[in-house]
Amino acid sequence: MDIWIISAILLLTLYLLVTEVISVDLSAIGIMVLLVVFGILTPKETVSGFANPAVITVAAMFVVSKGLMRTGGIEFLGRQIIKVARKNISAALALILVSVALSSAFINNTPIVILFIPVVMAMCCELGLSPSKFLIPVSYASILAGTCTLIGTSTNIIISDLSAQLGYGALSIFELSVIGVPIAIFGLIFLIFAAPRLLPDLANPTCQLQTDEHRRYLAELKILDNSKLIGTHPLELFSDKFPDIEVIELISNDRIYQPARDTKLVNGGDILLVKGTLNDLVGALHVDGIELPSTENGLALGAQKDAPIVVELLIAPGSTLAGRRLHKTELARDPEINIIAVKRQNLHLAERQISDIRLKNGDVLLVWCSDSKLKHLRSERDYLIIEDVYEEIVHKRKAVWAIVNFVCMIGTATLGLADIMTCALTAAFLMIITGCLQMRDAYRSLQGDVLLLIAGTIALGIGMQKTGASQLYAEYFLSLFSGATPTIVLGGIILLTSFSTQILSNNATAVLLLPIAISTAQGIGVDPKPFIIGVCIGASACFATPVGYQTNLMVHGPGGYRFLDYFRLGVPLNLFVVATGMLLIPVIWPF
């Protein structure tokens, strides 16, 4: 009876995950509710997935990935790609795919693809290329590279932990590289040559007039008396580190100087009227000897308690602030709020200083304040708070800390000095404590739906094992390959896993099929290890449909793709991965 119940729950799970009539995290909760209500698992067994090291490791890796993204290393790489592509257009696709692959082998591939989409779109605008030739390959390259290391994808971590629990040992951090790297290399070569021929050549709808002006703010910066910048010409102040900052005026002793015309050099106490992007202005405020005229406290976006955050305040229609000069508002007089800059459509201000600006509806104030103060500001009706702007800030000065932290995590795990969960948790802690990201960033980086899905499917896997359903399914599967060699059976497992991951998440596919794969291996009297590796390879072979993996869906809209575009390029890639895995895995991990 229990097998019939667990089978019904499994079918319901497949239906919910495929149709997404409810969200995947809610589906995961529903799985656990049914398992405990029908008495398949005890309450303790049902929630054991939350204490699973795989869940903790995946959560920690989300934080580590966010820390690497926030320090700007990959963004810098993207800019370099555009520069190289200008000189050699034929190498653009190869360079992008290799960059995506190298990054995705060690970092969660979802943020990698998120970052590279605008890089590709910008490059295609500048070079007159079609983004539809690039974006599906970017998604596929990130997926291919995920099979190269244990931490390349959360699926590998889950399978490794389940393998250890079932008594077959965990995977080492580079154990999959022996099979993953050859597959990734040949996969990238296939994409480089096949994508330009098989993918459509569509116009880039995002190539419009540049909107940089819309994202530029007008700000005042004060030169301190002990600044090393004293004696420098205003136009040379930011030319090296922040070349996009435009110095408009120099205000010294109540006199206004035009840097483009006057030879006046900077003195202590001078105020610079500048225009720049969010990242450049925040970066300039971290330069020694520069601060906001209205505050004596430097901008410090660290990991301290009640850490500050940068937000935009949009002057709302009907606001009591409209028509008032900025320095006479409660915002300017509040010592807990520091106004960095102002943004206005068709920005042109006649006032001598920002504090003299007469506010209008639609004006945007860039401010920084403590997290606790922000909670108070949310109750105000005079302005709308736009917090997303904080996500645009890149902490470039922390890049070295982030990279050292990441390298140490990889090195420690590789040498076996600590298990991967301990290494990942330590790296996540250090990312926060060194100021690479704040606690609010860490919480937001946790993909709760993914973590809940992992926990829920682990509980379902335990139920299948406990009721004997896995054994029953394996025996039925074996009947389809009666008399076949272990290599053919392995190929069938990889093909089944690859097919399932086209319609389910790869994490759910791995958890559901791993017990079946192990039972199948035991049924034909061979070592289950090749079958465990086969599930790893097959679960990441999700190329044939846009719903096979989240990165496939992410590039669907920007690339203007149809279902057939994925099918045309993805099916050959899927078959290649299945065939390569079936032939190479028994050589590396003998039966």
pLDDT reported for residue 494: 92
Q: What is the mean pLDDT of the chain?
A: 80
Q: What is the pTM of this model?
A: 0.61
Q: Average pLDDT, stretch 373-392? A: 69
Which one-letter amino acid corresponds to residue 568?
A: R
Of 9-13, 103-107, 379-383, minimum mean pLDDT range: 379-383
* Residue 564 banded pLDDT, cuts 50, 70, 90: confident
30-39 pLDDT per residue, tens: 989 999 998 8
Summarised one tens digit per residue, pLDDT across range 203-221 is: 655 554 344 444 677 788 8
Among 510, 478, 448, which Cα is nearest to 155's? 510
Phi, psi of 193 (to 5 degrees): -90, -35
DSSP per-residue string spanning 489-541:
HHHHHHHHHHHHHTTS-HHHHHHHHHHHHHHHHHHTTS-SHHHHHHHHHHHT-
Chain Cα centroid distance, residue 459:
27
Please, what's the b/e burial string for 280-316 (b: 16 or more CB within 10 A of its CB; e: otherwise)?
Answer: bbbbbbebebbbbbbbeeebebebeeebbbbbbbbbb
Report CA 363 to chain centroid distance, whole Å. Answer: 31
List phi, psi (to 5°) of 67: -60, -40
* 186-195 residue pLDDT tens: 999 999 888 8
Q: What is the mean pLDDT of residues 256-281?
A: 82
Share above pLDDT 90 across residues of the chain, in percent, rounded to a whole number: 13
Q: How far apart are CA 278 and CA 148, in angstroms?
A: 36
For residue 458, give the nearest of 98, 20, 56 by alpha carbon: 56
Q: Per DSSP, what are the bridge partners of residue 313?
A: 365, 385
Give 523-555 pLDDT, tens digit per residue.
Answer: 888 999 999 999 999 998 889 877 667 788 778
pLDDT at position 72 over 80: no
The pLDDT of residue 345 is 62
Per-residue pLDDT band for 388 (boundaries 50, 70, 90) equals low
User: Tell me, what DSSP letter sits at residue 299?
Assistant: P
Q: Which two tokens stand for residue 244?
A: 């996009």
In the block, tokens 């290649």 appear at: 576
382-386, 522-526, 576-580: which range is least confident on average? 382-386
- 310: which strand partners? 368
Q: What gap in Å lies between CA 339 and CA 354, rounded to an integer?
A: 10
Choose the most confident range, by mean pLDDT, from 4-13, 108-117, 553-562: 4-13
Contact indicator for 151, 145 with CB cutoff of 8 Å? no
Q: Which two tokens stand for residue 143?
A: 């997926």
Domains of the chain and CATH, by start: 308-392 (3.30.70.1450)
pLDDT tens profile 44-71: 888 888 887 878 877 887 888 778 777 7
Q: Is 181 helix (H, G, I), strand (E, B) or coil?
A: helix
Backbone angles phi, psi at 275, to 5 degrees: -125, 130
